[in-house]
């Protein structure tokens, strides 16, 4: 018997335990629908470019807004991005970007290449805010009401159908509510 | 009805797999010929039942039977027939069924072609193969049944992800699976050998062609995937060090190492224990890849339906298969007797170096892939490991490997002469150094890294040629004599030369493209002209073109160079009817110098369109190089030794005086 022969199974045991804990603790597919109606977590992030304003949770209060989680390494983000550029140009609702686990220079270049529709961007370098938001994959999109409460969550890339039949109607509904509240109060 | 038939066939296949996985194993242990004989018909039956199930699922897709959940989720009546068929494996359940089909096909081919294997070994190999089948069949039946019905069938299906409706991607998964699953053969042979406690050159002669076939398929599959990413995703990239890409790359690296170490077992009857371990690890990495893709444990660009329940199941299966085989290895491997001894400077020594470097490269990629998960678990910190990590760690390991890949084949077995080998390679050395220096001196924009890449690429091509020239005594013997030697050279030697040359061509193409590509991104109105790499692209406008299940906006760019019309580029942006999801189709003009690549973006609403052009020099060298590598695998597979598979290697007929050279 040679002890060295036991190194491969032991190394595998470490990996297997890590994978098991990964499934158990990180729960890849758990979608916290409980976030709906809850305030966005507290955060204050720098932007992808130090000359620009970053993003904090207080920016989400006051107007109905969209928060889009994106990254330059994410292929589906590229697919949905032209739609955000469109929404940004229309200017009906602020779109905030959460740049998830990215390199700042890559993100800047990506935005320069494909257009920057975002009113402000928070660079979530270590993904901590993404975790608090329950991000399970990129891209994800949240609709946040004027009180800063999350009202809708869309997982995965948006398409035109989702934008026009799900996200924008929710935005308009919340904007109408906000105006109604405003006249009441 | 057809779906139920398929479901039933899968259950029967599982029962067959259980029979095949137990009875022959016991039979081989108790030396009962009758029990051993169960293996072959069981392997045939298992394959037949899985093939029936696969046919049933394909039928459901072709006739658009939306009462089957998988079909409703992934198909659409408007989809062209080709994509209805390829849609069978464009989803989790169907692709798993394809995986199992290939697994049982490999098992059945041992039953068909393994007539000259010792019956005991064959029975054990088939039993191990069947036990893997038991795991996957239970997985599909318990967690991912492709034949699940829905009570109220929708009138229309959800459609296949438009990105997958592409000929390149349609055949990427089957090739990849032939590669992944092909390594199960090496695994089954390794475990069977451990149970028997015996590894002889006949074993390696059997394992090598299977490994070679799997490696060839896997190479083709990975390249097809990269090529698809290049022309379909529309941003000109081809590799992203994404976890799922790494999942296919790790078995490739380990499989490449296995391919080389199996040569040593076959020719020199040594390095057995290590080769067995590599065979186990290579398939383990394939299984790990499956786990990563289907458990959703790592964030990836490859969206597959994920489900933690499936994750637990695969993990449990991984622990049984990988853990079990590694423990078996730990217990039995020390008993394996080692054969011939060799000096550090020898063909064997070079192949050991190859294995060390490839194993290190594999470990690096594994670490980079799992590191975010480990760090997250132990510190709660989230990081993403991207291209910078892999570029900083992977390439320094590959550089000496590529340099040695030329020298190794020039060394003789047992004890080589390094100085002599280098002496014989001096022309190749000066040619490659000369090319690299000339590029460095005369082409601006290069870096020391690009110079190194060109030097290594040229070294691989020139060195492989030099080694071939030496073997056939080119210029040192009459041409007719050289030609005869070339014809009588073993196919495996041709295969190696082609594979190494292809790798060199690939490296040259990749280096030049990454270093000297140019791009231009802008908003253009009809009539505008943009120049890229000496080409003038005039934007003529955008038209709407209906496709079978999508609407396309197709732009027309007329391309001219020095005032002469060269071609028209027609990039498209497609919106698919079923999902509304947009995809891009790049317009590519391939020239000898490189690809002119155009992508059309969105309209700015003011009469302008976002456009993006690249000029990618030498990019086709990458695809040609990769194809040459695949060709090398195919040529090597046709080697007589593999076909004969006889216990004793026969001498070449005395037609030519060609003595066996030191290498093959």
What are B72-95's pLDDT values in tens digits?
Answer: 877 878 778 888 888 888 888 898
pLDDT value for B158: 67
Q: What is the mean pLDDT of residues B491-497?
A: 91
Q: Give B42 to chain A, closest Cα distance, Å.
A: 31
pLDDT at residue B645 tops 50: no
CB-CB neighbors (< 8 A) of B277 in chain A: 8
pLDDT value for B236: 60
Residue showing tokens 């955000």: A84
pLDDT value for A136: 61
* Whether A25 contacts chain B with CB within 8 A: yes
Q: What is the mean pLDDT of residues A107-135?
A: 83
Which residue segments constitute the domains of chain A, with CATH numbers given? 30-184 (3.40.30.10)
pLDDT band at B283 (very low <50, low <70, confident <90, very high): very high
pLDDT value for B656: 38
For B236-275, what is each residue's pLDDT tens digit?
A: 667 777 777 888 899 999 999 999 998 888 888 888 889 9
Best mutation site among B318, B580, B586 for testing chain A: the one with the most A CBs within 10 Å? B580
pLDDT at residue B501 tops 60: yes
Q: Which residues contact B57 (CB under 8 A, 6 or more apart)?
A: B3, B6, B68, B70, B88, B94, B97, B146, B147
Contact B340, B270 (CB under 8 A): yes
pLDDT band at A31 (very low <50, low <70, confident <90, very high): very low
* Whether B305 contacts chain A with CB within 8 A: no
d(CA B513, CA B515): 6
pLDDT band at A35 (very low <50, low <70, confident <90, very high): low
Calculate the alpha carbon distances from B479 to B472, B484, B617 in Å.
9, 9, 37
> Which has the higher per-residue pLDDT, B580 or B317?
B317
Between chains, do B297 and A13 touch, taking CB under 8 Å as contact?
A: no
Calculate the alpha carbon distances from B419 to B45, B117, B403, B422, B662 in Å.
57, 42, 15, 5, 16
pLDDT value for B189: 94
DSSP assignments along B505-528, one per residue:
HHHHHHHHHHHH-EEEEEEE-TT-
pLDDT band at A45 (very low <50, low <70, confident <90, very high): confident
pLDDT band at A90 (very low <50, low <70, confident <90, very high): confident
pLDDT at residue B503 tops 90: yes
Q: Is the ipTM of this complex over 0.90?
A: no
**Domain B1-165, what fold?**
1.20.120
Q: Please, what sign has the CA dihedral across residues B415, B418, B419, B424?
A: positive
B556: left (phi > 0), else alpha (psi -120 to 50), else beta? beta
A-contacting residues in B 598-617 (Cβ below 8 Å): 601-602, 604-605, 610, 612
Between chains, do B326 and A12 touch, taking CB under 8 Å as contact?
A: yes
Contact B357, B400 (CB under 8 A): yes
> Which has the higher per-residue pLDDT, B663 or B45?
B45
pLDDT at residue B199 tops 60: yes
Least confident of B148-157, B416-425, B469-478: B148-157
Q: Which of A27, A89, A101 sits opposite B384 (nearest CB)?
A: A101
Between chains, do A26 and B297 touch, taking CB under 8 Å as contact?
A: yes
Contact B630, B560 (CB under 8 A): no
What predicted TM-score, i.e. pTM, was given to this entire model?
A: 0.79
CB-CB neighbors (< 8 A) of B383 in chain A: 101, 126-127
Backbone phi and psi for residue A97, each to the nearest 5 degrees, phi listed first: -105, 135
pLDDT at residue B499 tops 70: yes
A-contacting residues in B 444-503 (Cβ below 8 Å): none
């Amino acid at each position: 018997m040679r002890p060295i022969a036991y190194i491969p199974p032991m190394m595998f045991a470490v990996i297997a335990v890590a994978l098991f804990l990964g499934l158990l603790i990180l729960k890849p597919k758990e979608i916290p629908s409980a976030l709906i109606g809850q305030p966005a977590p507290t955060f204050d992030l720098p932007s992808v470019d130090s000359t620009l304003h970053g993003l904090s949770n207080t920016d989400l209060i006051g107007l109905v807004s969209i928060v889009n989680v994106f990254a330059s390494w994410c292929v589906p983000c590229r697919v949905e991005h032209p739609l955000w550029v469109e929404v940004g140009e229309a200017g009906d609702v602020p779109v905030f970007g959460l740049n998830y686990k990215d390199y700042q220079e890559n993100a800047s270049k990506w935005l320069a290449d494909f257009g920057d529709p975002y009113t402000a961007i928070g660079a979530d370098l270590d993904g901590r805010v993404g975790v608090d938001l329950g991000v399970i994959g990129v891209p994800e999109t949240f609709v946040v009401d004027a009180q800063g409460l999350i009202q809708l969550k869309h997982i995965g890339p948006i398409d035109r159908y989702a934008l026009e039949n799900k996200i924008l109607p929710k935005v308009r509904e919340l904007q109408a509510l906000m105006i109604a509240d405003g006249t009441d109060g | 009805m057809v779906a139920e038939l398929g479901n039933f066939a899968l259950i029967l296949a599982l029962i067959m797999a259980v029979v095949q996985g137990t009875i022959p194993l016991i039979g081989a242990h108790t030396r009962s010929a009758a029990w051993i004989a169960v293996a072959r018909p069981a392997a045939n039956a298992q394959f037949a039942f899985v093939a029936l199930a696969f046919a049933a699922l394909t039928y459901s897709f072709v006739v658009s039977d939306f009462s089957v959940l998988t079909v409703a989720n992934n198909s659409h009546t408007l989809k062209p027939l080709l994509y209805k068929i390829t849609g069978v494996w464009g989803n989790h359940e169907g692709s798993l069924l394809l995986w199992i089909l290939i697994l049982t096909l490999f098992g059945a081919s041992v039953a068909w072609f393994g007539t000259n294997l010792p019956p005991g070994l064959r029975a054990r190999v088939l039993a191990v193969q069947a036990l893997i089948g038991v795991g996957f069949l239970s997985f599909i039946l318990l967690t991912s049944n492709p034949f699940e019905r829905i009570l109220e069938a929708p009138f229309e299906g959800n459609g296949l992800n438009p990105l997958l409706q592409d000929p390149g991607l349609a055949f990427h998964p089957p090739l990849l699976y032939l590669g992944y699953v092909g390594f199960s053969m090496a695994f089954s042979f390794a475990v069977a050998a451990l149970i028997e406690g015996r590894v002889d050159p006949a074993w390696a002669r059997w394992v090598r062609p299977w490994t070679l076939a799997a490696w060839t398929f896997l190479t083709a599959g990975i390249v097809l995937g990269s090529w698809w990413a290049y022309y379909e995703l529309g941003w000109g990239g081809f590799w992203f060090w994404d976890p799922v890409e790494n999942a296919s790359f790790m078995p490739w690296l380990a499989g490449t190492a296995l391919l080389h170490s199996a040569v040593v077992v076959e020719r020199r009857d040594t390095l057995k224990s290590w080769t067995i371990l590599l065979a186990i690890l290579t398939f383990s990495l394939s299984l790990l890849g499956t786990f990563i893709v289907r458990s959703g444990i790592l964030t990836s660009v490859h969206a597959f339906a994920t489900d933690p329940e499936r994750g637990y199941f695969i993990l449990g299966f991984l622990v049984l298969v990988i853990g079990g085989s590694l423990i078996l290895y730990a217990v039995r491997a020390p008993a394996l007797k080692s054969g011939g001894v060799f000096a550090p400077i020898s063909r064997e020594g070079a192949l050991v170096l190859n294995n060390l470097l490839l194993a290190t490269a594999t470990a690096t990629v594994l670490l980079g892939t799992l590191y975010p998960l480990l760090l997250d678990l132990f510190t709660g910190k989230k990081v993403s490991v991207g291209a910078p990590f892999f570029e900083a760690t992977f390439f320094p390991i590959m550089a000496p490997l590529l340099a040695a890949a030329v020298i190794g084949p020039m060394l003789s077995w047992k004890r080589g002469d390094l100085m002599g080998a280098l002496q014989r390679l001096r022309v190749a050395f000066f040619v490659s150094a000369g090319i690299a220096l000339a590029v460095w001196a005369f082409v601006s924009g290069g870096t020391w890294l690009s110079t190194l890449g060109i030097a290594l690429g040229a070294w691989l091509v020139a060195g492989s040629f030099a080694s071939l020239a030496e073997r056939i005594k080119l210029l040192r013997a009459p041409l007719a004599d050289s030609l005869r030697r070339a014809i009588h050279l073993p196919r495996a030697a041709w295969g190696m030369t082609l594979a190494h040359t292809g790798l060199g061509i690939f490296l040259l193409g990749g280096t030049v493209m990454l270093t000297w590509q140019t791009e231009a991104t802008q908003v253009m109105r009809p009539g505008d002209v943009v120049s890229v790499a000496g080409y003038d692209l005039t934007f003529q406008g955008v038209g709407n073109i209906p496709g079978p299940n999508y609407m396309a906006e197709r732009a027309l760019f007329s391309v001219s160079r020095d005032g002469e019309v060269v071609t028209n580029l027609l990039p498209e942006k497609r919106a698919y009817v079923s999902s509304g999801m947009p995809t891009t189709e790049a317009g590519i003009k391939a020239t000898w110098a490189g690809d002119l690549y155009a992508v059309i973006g969105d309209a700015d609403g003011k009469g302008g369109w976002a456009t993006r052009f690249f000029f990618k020099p030498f990019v086709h060298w990458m695809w040609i190089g990769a194809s040459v590598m695949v060709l090398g695998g195919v040529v090597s597979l046709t080697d007589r030794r593999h076909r004969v598979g006889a216990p004793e290697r026969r001498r070449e007929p005395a037609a030519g005086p060609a003595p066996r050279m030191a290498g093959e």
